[in-house]
Amino acid sequence: MLSKIHHVGIVVRNLEDAYAFYRDTLGLPLGKMATVEDQGVKAALLPVGESEIELLEPISPDSGVARFLDNKGGGLHHLCFETDNIDTELQDAKDKGLRLIDRQPRNGLAGIIAFLHPQACCSVLVEYAQPVDRSEHASLLSQGRDRRFTARRLDHVVIAVKDLEGAVATYQRNFGLDREAARDVPALGLRNTFLPIGDAKIEIVTPLGDASPIGQFIDKKGEGMYLVSLDVDHLDGAVQTLADAGIKANVIRGTVGDIAMISPRHTHGVLLQLVSR
Ligand code: CO
């Protein structure tokens, strides 16, 4: 069974540069770091609540991650679900006829892992991970810091698609998720549905209206992961900390609660939302 979003994978040109934002400005603790030779990456896992941000820097020019960096300029790369039994999960995917990248589980940074093909998941590269060592994560969470805000939790991940109901059905079937009712959010130019998993949600969105930013995103980049949202304890403290680092967040009050949007140019290619629940 899939229990939660284990991590969101982000491809960056340079890990050290990315730390300046994710570790120093956002304040995420820098957890496990490793070079994964067979994937051609240097990687770092930064815990946020029960989930993690995985930063990936290509170290060989012919890796999939290097091609992603060349083609898309980096940014949101894959979505990883945690499972307590990777063998069962992979067999279940095979039984459903899902297209796979890995037909057998293998060792990865997050434990024993396997990737599904993006064609099986509405253009999202999905990873399954069965963690090997749980104590490591817990010890990292206890690190205290004197900061004006703390990123407490991965709140949700947004996936932009052309066919909302088709994508929701795919995610329900593939991953056994429940759904909430679809609704229009005209102020944001989208129609959406949430699918809860663990203490986070997957939000599937489709464009609403002609000037929809979702429509512009799909036209430019194609369907796929659009945004990551982190829950913070003090939104104003976060906005001030970002300003001190030379990053102007776009604060939107009221539409869906108070949120701060950070442009991909400040985050190594990720449209990032901060929200205080
Ligand atoms: Co990963």
| C-alpha 42 – ligand 1 centre gap (Å) | 12
Range of the domain at 129: 2-141
Task: Summarize the confidence of residues 207-215 as an average pLDDT.
Answer: 95
**Using CA of residue 113, residue 116, residue 118, residue 122, what is the dihedral sign?**
negative
Q: Per-residue b/e over 74-92, b at no fewer than 16 CB within 10 Å?
A: bbbbbbbbbbeebeebbeb
Predicted pLDDT of residue 133? 74
Indicate the burial class of 30 (C-beta count within 10 angstroms; 0-12, 13-18, 19 or more).
Answer: middle
Task: Summarize the confidence of residues 78-91 as an average pLDDT.
Answer: 97
| C-alpha 222 – ligand 1 centre gap (Å) | 21
Predicted pLDDT of residue 50? 95
Question: In which region does residue 74 sit, left (phi positive, over 0), alpha (psi from -120 to 50) or beta (all else)?
Answer: left
Q: Both 11 and 128 in a single domain?
A: yes
Tokens of 169: 């059905």
| C-alpha 201 – ligand 1 centre gap (Å) | 18
User: Taking 90 as the threshold, does the pLDDT of residue 144 lie above it?
Assistant: no
d(CA 116, CA 102): 7
Which of 92, 118, 141 is the last residue in one of the domains?
A: 141
Residue 146 within any structural domain of the chain: no
**Other C-beta atoms lying within 10 Å of the C-beta of residue 211:** 9
| C-alpha 95 – ligand 1 centre gap (Å) | 23
Residue 124 within any structural domain of the chain: yes
User: Taking 80 as the threshold, does the pLDDT of residue 164 lie above it?
Assistant: yes
Q: Which amino acid is at 46?
A: L
**Using CA of residue 79, residue 89, residue 137, residue 106, what is the dihedral sign?**
negative
Q: Both 11 and 105 in a single domain?
A: yes
Predicted pLDDT of residue 142? 44
Tokens of 249: 């967040």
Residue 224 within any structural domain of the chain: yes
User: Taking 70 as the threshold, does the pLDDT of residue 141 lie above it?
Assistant: no
Residue 166 within any structural domain of the chain: yes
Q: What is the mean pLDDT of the chain?
A: 93
pLDDT in tens, 221-266: 999 999 999 999 999 999 999 999 999 999 998 867 799 999 999 9
Any idea what DSSP says for residue 28? Answer: -
d(CA 223, CA 121): 10
Q: Both 7 and 97 in a single domain?
A: yes
Which of 141, 159, 193 is the last residue in one of the domains?
A: 141
Which of 141, 166, 193 is the last residue in one of the domains?
A: 141
| C-alpha 49 – ligand 1 centre gap (Å) | 17
**Other C-beta atoms lying within 10 Å of the C-beta of residue 248:** 12
Q: Both 189 and 263 in a single domain?
A: yes
pTM here is 0.94
CB-CB contact of 154 with 131 (8 Å): no
With a pLDDT cut of 70, the percent of the chain lying above it is 95
Count up the domains in the chain and report the number: 2
What is the domain-level CATH number for residue 210?
A: 3.10.180.10
User: Taking 70 as the threshold, does the pLDDT of residue 147 lie above it?
Assistant: yes
